[in-house]
Copies of this chain bind each other. A is one copy, B any other.
Amino acid sequence: MLGGYVKRILYVDLTSGKMSEKEPEEFLLKRFIGGSGLGAKYLFEGTGPATDPLGPENILIFMTGPLTGTKVPLSSRYEVISKSPLTGIYGESDSGGSWGSELKKAGFDGIMIRGRASKPTYLWINEGQAELRSADHLWGLDTYSVEDIVKNETDKRAVVACIGPAGEKLARIAAIINDGKHGRAAARCGLGAVMGSKHLKAIVVRGTKEIEVANSEALERSVKELAPSILDKARNMHDYGTSGGMTAMEYLGDLPIKNWQLGSWEDGAEKISGQTMAKTILSGRYYCRGCIIGCGREVKFDSAKYGKVDGAGPEYETLAMLGSNCLVDDLEALAKANDLCNRYGLDTISTGAAIAFAMEAYERGLITVDETEGNPLTWGNPDALIELIHKIGRREGLGWLLGEGVKRASEKIGGLSIEFAIHVKGLELPAHDPRAYYSQGLSYAVSNRGACHLQSLSHIFERNVILKSFGYWTIQDRHGVEGKGELVVKAQNLMCMMDSLKVCKFILFGGVEPPQLVDWLNWVTGMDMSLEDFMRTGERIYNLKRLYNIREGLSRKDDVLPPRILTHRRGKGGSAYNLPPLGELLAQYYECRGWDEMGIPRPEKILELGLEHEASFLQESKRRRNNSST
């Protein structure tokens, strides 16, 4: 019997309103762990090329991991897995707060949602019991209001994950928001729109069940021992949050500026940094449940221009994508913009990308003044920024188009706009520039969910984190090429495990190395994994997601970077002349992955990972042939 799991998955069919439970098979838990890994396996079996991401046949999976809700620090996270309406391929997104651990305490490792409710609905899970309720009165409301109302009608101590108007209206950049005005978000890949397509407004959870752990003594001793040094090492995250590194990012040429065109924005970066926030609008720090670092920001102000804001403050990604990337340096405007994104239920990364894209299209005459309805989309204009977020959230006018994401928006606008729609596989780039960290160039190109820094987080090994247990005794040269394929492979496999366990990746900033994670997993579950088993499991999960995408028709041709990132020199700053040599990086990567030159796992690799069953479609598709062509 494995510890760490409650061994119950809730199955919800919204079309029929029927619910049931199943115990996840133990061999699946050992092979795919939980969280992202187990979710990927379920999604792989339950969906495919014929699945419309916004159709009732898509599955929306909420998953915790074995560490969720245990005494492992930074472990109150959950993962949402579904076929993405933004990218059309494998999608996943994770979030912190307290919702993940509350779900587990309420008696479920995860929830599998199929179908489409005939009218707005929410799911109420209370101490092992699940119930579908009408959400007629919630439809159209913003995420913060929803939380207040449903807590009133369920339990004041309940935790809510829900969508705002953007998700209801199927914006492909819509997020799922949890923990209300603390603004935690499973934001990437547009999974809020999947929830909206199912007419599911919220999932409300309440539970007090204790999570059984195989060796709680060893776990607690280790956590107690490590906690001070974790906090000490991650002190800057505590003090200044994720945007504490803003000026450093700018200095290194890592910060996206003016839709990824410029290399330097010194004064601006200072103005929107975590340090400036701490001196001005910061009202407190937010700790996800069980966290000892507290990187979350709380802000409070009442400005003549933007009104009152009191709640979650903006993260680095938000400040960079809505701020520097749009040349907006007004911190209050950005805090307001962040607040609006949380309320409408929007991914701040994709939203910032879409607005920067629109500003460039406007400058180039591809979006007319008429379409902006009087608020000129000029660079650095905070009023235009805020106005456009309202429009995206409500899906009005130009906002409708931008809510489709930059790939679709550029295809509609046409012409040169395709050249400055900065995405990979349809997912907008997050706020780390591949020209500053070559490993991220490779990561963005190959990441299973499209352009993503979190699926490898490899740039931290090129900046300030040394991973001795992987044989990296120094910081890697960020503009170096040698060994980068291997670095990204290792980092991705590790991230697959962290997304499956689930534990916050920021624990790496606290000096925790992978062998420690293996110990924690073993102590929680009673497994006896070696570091090698652990990393092999991560590799299995990574390859499974790749197989999902290959089945959707992806191959090496899709492992690309936007032309601007490949060929446009930023001209100034810490990465003024650097361009990531993608071909070389990919060649290393495929070799290191054991994939063929087309990005398909070789038969030996499939066998080594025990994915023969999942990969059997590769043989079938060989025999398939479009006969209409001859």
What interface size band does chain A fall in?
35 or more
Whether the Cβ atoms of B579 and A583 lie closer than 8 Å is yes
A584 and B568 alpha carbons, distance in the complex (Å): 9
- Residues in chain B near residue A371, CB distance under 8 A: 625, 630
- Residues in chain B near residue A623, CB distance under 8 A: 365
A563 and B365 alpha carbons, distance in the complex (Å): 33
Contact of A622 among B366, B420, B563 (CB under 8 A): B366
Contact of A600 among B368, B416, B553 (CB under 8 A): B416
B interface footprint on A571-614 (CB within 8 Å = 1, 0 otherwise): 00000000111111011001000000110100000000000000
Which one, A30-38, A346-354, A407-415, is touching chain B? A407-415
Docked complex: A362-405 residues within 8 A CB-CB of B = 364-368, 371, 397-398, 400-401
Interface hub of A413, A563, A582 (most chain B Cβ within 10 A): A563
- Residues in chain B near residue A16, CB distance under 8 A: none
* With A398-B630, A555-B416 as contacts: A625 and B367 at CB distance below 8 Å: yes
Whether the Cβ atoms of A583 and B586 lie closer than 8 Å is no
Nearest-CB residue, chain B, relative to A414: B626
Whether the Cβ atoms of A364 and B569 lie closer than 8 Å is no
- Residues in chain B near residue A397, CB distance under 8 A: 630
* A629 part of interface (Cβ distance < 8 Å): yes
* A155 part of interface (Cβ distance < 8 Å): no
* A567 part of interface (Cβ distance < 8 Å): yes
Whether the Cβ atoms of A568 and B597 lie closer than 8 Å is yes
Measured between C-beta atoms, what is the minimum distance from A591 to chain B in Å? 8
A621 and B584 alpha carbons, distance in the complex (Å): 37
B interface footprint on A397-438 (CB within 8 Å = 1, 0 otherwise): 110110000000100111110111000000000000000000
* A305 part of interface (Cβ distance < 8 Å): no
Nearest-CB residue, chain B, relative to A441: B583
* A141 part of interface (Cβ distance < 8 Å): no
* A22 part of interface (Cβ distance < 8 Å): no
- Residues in chain B near residue A130, CB distance under 8 A: none
Whether the Cβ atoms of B581 and A626 lie closer than 8 Å is no
* A2 part of interface (Cβ distance < 8 Å): no
Whether the Cβ atoms of B569 and A587 lie closer than 8 Å is yes
- Residues in chain B near residue A630, CB distance under 8 A: 371, 397-398, 400-401
* A564 part of interface (Cβ distance < 8 Å): yes
- Residues in chain B near residue A626, CB distance under 8 A: 412-414
Whether the Cβ atoms of B555 and A419 lie closer than 8 Å is yes
* A221 part of interface (Cβ distance < 8 Å): no
Docked complex: A66-124 residues within 8 A CB-CB of B = none
* A557 part of interface (Cβ distance < 8 Å): yes
- Residues in chain B near residue A468, CB distance under 8 A: none
Measured between C-beta atoms, what is the minimum distance from A576 to chain B in Å? 12
Whether the Cβ atoms of B412 and A564 lie closer than 8 Å is no
Whether the Cβ atoms of B629 and A413 lie closer than 8 Å is yes
- Residues in chain B near residue A418, CB distance under 8 A: 555, 557
* A556 part of interface (Cβ distance < 8 Å): yes
* With A364-B622, A597-B567, A598-B416 as contacts: A401 and B629 at CB distance below 8 Å: yes
Whether the Cβ atoms of B567 and A625 lie closer than 8 Å is no
* A624 part of interface (Cβ distance < 8 Å): yes
A621 and B600 alpha carbons, distance in the complex (Å): 41
A617 and B494 alpha carbons, distance in the complex (Å): 52
* With A365-B622, A398-B630, A630-B401 as contacts: A419 and B598 at CB distance below 8 Å: yes
Whether the Cβ atoms of B582 and A587 lie closer than 8 Å is no
- Residues in chain B near residue A597, CB distance under 8 A: 564, 567-568
Contact of A415 among B398, B553, B628 (CB under 8 A): B553
A513 and B515 alpha carbons, distance in the complex (Å): 66
Nearest-CB residue, chain B, relative to A577: B587
- Residues in chain B near residue A367, CB distance under 8 A: 625
A629 and B557 alpha carbons, distance in the complex (Å): 28
Contact of A584 among B416, B553, B581, B625 (CB under 8 A): B581
* A566 part of interface (Cβ distance < 8 Å): yes
A413 and B625 alpha carbons, distance in the complex (Å): 6
- Residues in chain B near residue A564, CB distance under 8 A: 597
Contact of A583 among B366, B413, B567, B590 (CB under 8 A): B567
Contact of A419 among B556, B566, B621 (CB under 8 A): B556
Measured between C-beta atoms, what is the minimum distance from A258 to chain B in Å? 12
* With A566-B583, A579-B587, A597-B564 as contacts: A629 and B419 at CB distance below 8 Å: no
Nearest-CB residue, chain B, relative to A566: B583
Measured between C-beta atoms, what is the minimum distance from A102 to chain B in Å? 41
Contact of A586 among B364, B566, B586, B600 (CB under 8 A): B566
- Residues in chain B near residue A581, CB distance under 8 A: 581, 583-584
Nearest-CB residue, chain B, relative to A409: B629
A556 and B561 alpha carbons, distance in the complex (Å): 13
Contacts A/B (CB < 8 Å), 5 sampled? A401-B629, A412-B626, A413-B629, A579-B587, A581-B584
New A-B contacts (18) at CB < 8 Å, excluding given A368-B625, A413-B629, A419-B555: A371-B630, A397-B630, A398-B630, A401-B630, A412-B626, A412-B628, A415-B621, A416-B555, A418-B557, A419-B557, A419-B598, A557-B563, A567-B586, A567-B587, A580-B583, A581-B581, A581-B584, A582-B583
What 6 pairs across the A-B complex have the smallest Cβ distances? Answer: A412-B629, A566-B583, A365-B622, A568-B597, A567-B586, A419-B598
